[in-house]
Amino acid sequence: MKIQERTGAGAGRSAAPAQPSVGDRLPSPPRERKPALAALAVLLILLGALGATMLVLQVGERVAVVKVTSDIQAGESVGDNVTSVMVAADDSIQYVEWTKLKALKKLKAKSPIYAGTVVVGQMFGAKEQVPAGKASVGLALKEGQYYADIKGGDTVAAYRVGTSGSSGSDSSDKDSSASSSGNGFIANASVQNVKGESDATVSTGSKSITLLVDEDDAAALASASSAGEVALVRIPAK
């Protein structure tokens, strides 16, 4: 009896909704094709690949250029103080290519160039360049009037020595009084070049030394040099 009642109660329940068959599904809307966007995407991909390729090619293009191996002073040639290094080609930089070294040796440095510098064309000219307000003065000095290892690029003070100029002109008196104070009458000068190490004058101890000084000091220095009354002392660079 209880079995029949349960069966009857279950029979009165509503059945679960039937799932629609495959054939009853609604059709999906057709996808809208956008050929213009697809073409743009392909174009962007191609441009990116082309740019990357050009960058790789540019980095890979290298040229041999000139680098100096020791300090070159203003008015000097590079001589044999050079080596070849490879750099990335760049038309905006006027590197001096290694193939043009012979022509470079005929030119003069416009200003000091320090060891390890990769040189560019603007650093050199056909003749020595003297900065505005400066003058190059050549000195012929004997051993004892300069220190042992004097070389281009040194910073020196020039002292007037001796007494032969004390009875000279007013300018000589002025120079002598300056030297008697114990201070260099030219307190700061730059050695441009030194000659005498490899020529005949080295046997006598004489050297030809060129100093770069203020233009106002050039006359006094030349006068003292001609009288053999100049001594050079190396001082710290300022």
Tens of pLDDT, residues 131-181: 778 888 989 898 889 998 888 888 899 998 875 444 444 444 444 444 333
> Given this model, what pLDDT does residue 38 score?
77
Domains of the chain: 62-125 (3.90.1210.10), 134-234 (no CATH)
Provide mean pLDDT across the span 4-11.
Answer: 52
The number of C-alpha atoms within 13 Å of 204 and in the hemisphere containing its C-beta is: 11
Rounded CA separation 134/126 (Å): 19
> Given this model, what pLDDT does residue 119 score?
93
Sign of CA dihedral 34, 37, 40, 46: negative
pTM (whole model) above 0.85: no
